[in-house]
Amino acid sequence: MNMHSSGGGLTSEQTERVVAIAMDLAREGGTDQLAEFVAHGLPVDVRDAAGNTLLMLAAYHGHADTVRTLVRLGADPDLRNDRDQTPLAGALFKGADDVVTVLREAGADLDSGTPTARAAAAMFGRAHLLED
């Protein structure tokens, strides 16, 4: 979790706190504040202790606008967490159909992760969301 900033930077404790706040914002759909954090140097693909990215948490919690903004800011839609889960599979699991649409438009891989998005869609009766 290297955060680069001019003028001294943050201590590791401060960095951990900033990351924790950002993860909470992703869970809550705090799109504007997250964009500000990224604009001020927070890596858009920063991870929490479980390997979740901001995009993963926003997708899992059904915040399509936040997901759209994070993708626009350069977030990788295919980064898997420590359990090998992708944001797309998480959105399918939670029934966040609008997030699934945003991630598909971002080019999310349907075949990566465990389970894959295709397998998750089949498991949860959402295969229609992955059809072109």
In a domain, residue 2? The reply is no
In a domain, residue 83? The reply is yes
3-state secondary structure string across the chain: CCCCCCCCCCCHHHHHHHHHHHHHHHHHCCHHHHHHHHHCCCCCCCECCCCCEHHHHHHHCCCHHHHHHHHHCCCCCCCCCCCCCCHHHHHHHHCCHHHHHHHHHCCCCCCCCCCCHHHHHHHCCCHHHHCC
* pLDDT value of position 131: 87
Domain boundaries, position 79: 12-130
Domain at 97, CATH number: 1.25.40.20
In a domain, residue 109? The reply is yes
In a domain, residue 49? The reply is yes
- 26 pLDDT more than 70: yes
In a domain, residue 3? The reply is no
Q: How many domains are contained in the chain?
A: 1
In a domain, residue 6? The reply is no
How does pLDDT run across 64-106, given as a tens digit for each residue?
Answer: 999 999 999 999 999 999 999 999 999 999 999 999 999 999 9
